[in-house]
Structure 1
């Protein structure tokens, strides 16, 4: 029995012949490896491969039966592009590989930290098909964005300038300069303290401060700052709460360690001044109590500076009153954080006694003696020969005292006030006749 070719089923028409694809246009007709080429033609449905000469494209997209886009693989010279599908292989169409060398015009930014890791955008021409980006001799990871742009991650490097290059099938570009910046350090502040209101000028010293982009006091940005040199910045602190905050300078190389502190000082406050009065001649030792006193730079009695003062602690300052005119003045303490509230301190004139009435009495005492004079309002004691007497201040010029018992004979009577002690007036204890 002989075998015969199968016949078409009854009623079926003849099978349509398979037609190989054709390419009519290649756009662009030339370019570097990696360029995307658009092929226009017919019969592209089901295409399985695209060859540039003998090399297959590793990336292509069939958009329709008449359009394909393909990425040119590595190659040189002029080659024939062919398309292969279920119906066969197309005609060939010329594609010419160009060897234009890449060019970099700008890196942005043009500097960064020695630790690397920052993204650098390289702009130029003929960057398609980039195969390598190097910072000096060190390869960087990169992404080819377009024929005019590549983004690269700067690798770590030593402080200083290096040449950045891009390599494509067209060659290696000339280098552009990228500078690795040493990490900034902050070593000191002058002054290292100020008021909670801020606004004063602070000089920051350190290294590698050139190009500083920010200065922060704690979490708040400096009101303003000026880079004076690579080792100095002038900054104005913002307002802040009392206490210590780290000062941090940020540069393109990163931020300083935050191990230098600025102290916002609490405003000084006074709660007491003891004693609250003294002689116009001054020299009275006055204990000032309060808070925020540890950085005191001055103590004033009215407008006059204290004769001397000693900071004992944050809550106490010992001061010596200067000479002053009779009357009350405000005592204040001055610190870098400001001037305290004022407490009254009264300068008292030296008291004077002009008469005693009577100026004699029995040794048993008990009689009332009227003392007349001036400056007696603040009398703290009346003494009969050094012996305290009960007394009452009636006015600035009159005191009544009860004479204490004592031996017969004369004694000096004095009145003591914060302004001093009067000169004594004689008072005589007279024994009764016959005793």
Structure 2
């Protein structure tokens, strides 16, 4: 099948590459000439495990192409995927200006039987508006489907190749059948292909992300309570997770969620709810709890140092909003950096992938190519991202390097009793702090 994917961001590039890998002829389109030139030369603009290898292989084998020419790619395409950005607007709603511009640009070149598919996360009703715009621009009823993505950054290739389910929103059985054929190679293990109305498909994406975000905010709020009650949130998590109605997924306490999806989608769903005259009490609470959680680590640091951080050297491990990505959008580490600097501390940071992105967004941060070397002379260590490289450090070497033996673990990577035995003062999330330092 000949497919055009408009937008080479995270979703568009993964989608186009995976479709090419299953034998389709895919052209990825973007208005950013520098990005397209880079992709043609094998330069991947994002970090995603396994993506570079797939892009290079499929491009070399002639199934994956890159261009800035929308007209040439669309006019021969049987299916056109829209994967442009829908950033958060000033009022919390999604900004669809790029979606409308792309719709107008592709309309004159659209084949009569071509199917336009929205892959971007868009408010309910967007599909219908695109349908109306294309009818006005072309003078005919065009096929417009919705196909929301459920990709996790850091595991996007595997998620696409082995989806839990594929959701499509369509107006006729013919379009559903074509989309099912397209996804057939990825559904060989009997995972469901769910066909529904475009409005239901659009709503499914928002509801899924809002519910996952709710689980994170809930466990974080309970973790904060556990500390005050003398409990251990990890024990509580095990106690509730074995209930099949609850499960363990997204119940790991930490310093809050970030990224390109959860914050934006919760706020967009809030805006949609308000627009329809309903009161989004739970959605507002989820967002508020998360924003407050991003400040928890700083409050622990400030309390430990009796409110005076001037001249303190604080090391941070982990800058990306989650491991296996370089994405720092809404990352809790950025909040911590700002608060530490405003309090007069010097910040030295390490992350396997995201340091360049943080350097472009901040000033005054020192960066270390080595996680261990970042701790030289540090008064404390703060852990913000659960990279595997941080799970088994050489604690004896770290002890010798640090000026102060204090760890603020925002991801609960270590056992408190063992940290105490190693001679550290150890603070985590939802567990009582321990202090093994000698008086």
**TM, length-normalised to structure 2:** 0.19
**Bigger share in strand:** 1
Structure with greater Cα Rg: 1
**Bigger share in helix:** 2
